Structure formats: C-alpha cells, structure tokens
Structure 1
Amino acid sequence: MLNTPFTVWEGDEVHGRRPVLTGVGVSLDRLFAREPGAARRVIATGLDLTGEVRGRLHGRIPSVEGDWLGVVNYEIGYADGRRDKLSLVDQLLPFHVLRERE
C-alpha cells in the first residue's frame, strides 16, 4: 500500500493499523479525456472508460504546483459487460476527477 505523509491511519500497533478509506466516485470521462476530433474505433472487448465508478481513497499528496493527487483503489469494467473488472490499486489520481461519496 502506498503510504504518503498525508495518509490518515486508524487502529494501533497492538491491533493493527489500517488506512482510513473514503468512498469516492472516479470520473472516467475526465480522467481519460479523449483528444477533440480523435478518430473513434469501437473495440467491444475493450475497457469502458466512460461514466463514474466507485473508488476508495486512502491517501493524498500534493504536486509541486499545488495540485492534490489522491491515492485510490478502483475498478474499470469492460465494454462487453463481463463480470470481471480490471482492478487498479494505489493509483495516483488528480482530485478534479474525484467526488466524495457516502
């Protein structure tokens, strides 16, 4: 697990420490924005990089320019609707693609 200086922990040394998880929505449309006018070719077995997926924020860290990045675990589904998903762990995502969820 990626541990940043801004990771918030719960628990203790006796019972174990674990990062505090915050539910977030990850905007795949914003994260994987396509270049305007880019040619589109549909691949039915490809990843569906549209909409919003659920994620778990467990850390944060600033960039040199003052933008915040979240450390997030999330999954992306496939366009063909299969049950399996691509699991992404400890991904640095810009905060502008995240939305806090209940």
Structure 2
Amino acid sequence: MTKDELSALRHAAGGMVLFHNGLWGAPAGYRWAAPDGSGAGRVPQWECEALDLLERRGFVAIGRVTGARDGAVVATAAGYALLSTMDERIAA
C-alpha cells in the first residue's frame, strides 16, 4: 500500500470523504465532508485515484443514498483490518 492510499483510507475511516453522484449539476466525484455532513470542496485528484483503487480492492465503500445527496465514503471491515495491520507495522 502506498502512502497516498494509506492517507485516503484514513480519511475514509475518519468520515472525512463524501461521493457526489452528479445529480445536482456539479460533476460526479469525491468531496471533503464538512462537520455537518455536507460537501466542503473537492478532494485532490491523487486522492480520488487512491480512493477509486481502494474501492475496487474492497477497502472502502460508498454509502447508498437516494436523490442528490452525497454518499459517505467509509472504510469496510477489510479496510479497518488493513489500517490496524499498518498501524502495528508503524509502531514496531
């Protein structure tokens, strides 16, 4: 796992990322989550690419929502297990 992928996984696990589905005009893509759960700006391209890779590998998932609301990007059980393993390696 690269440093960028680990950073993106930590952001998803921390509830810091949303996915906008493009229904209300702005292009689809990842957004930072504001404290109230709304979108707070675009995630940098390098992190978007890392999040896409993490989703394909099953380490993060995009929450299902209806309508124009943004879905939370969350770490899966596999993602949390990977974070735990990485933290143990760093601590050692």
Compute the TM-score of the two structures, normalised by the length of structure 1.
0.25
Q: Which has the larger radius of gyration?
A: 1
Of Structure 1 and Structure 2, the greater helix share is in: 2
Of Structure 1 and Structure 2, the greater strand share is in: 1
Compute the TM-score of the two structures, normalised by the length of structure 2.
0.27
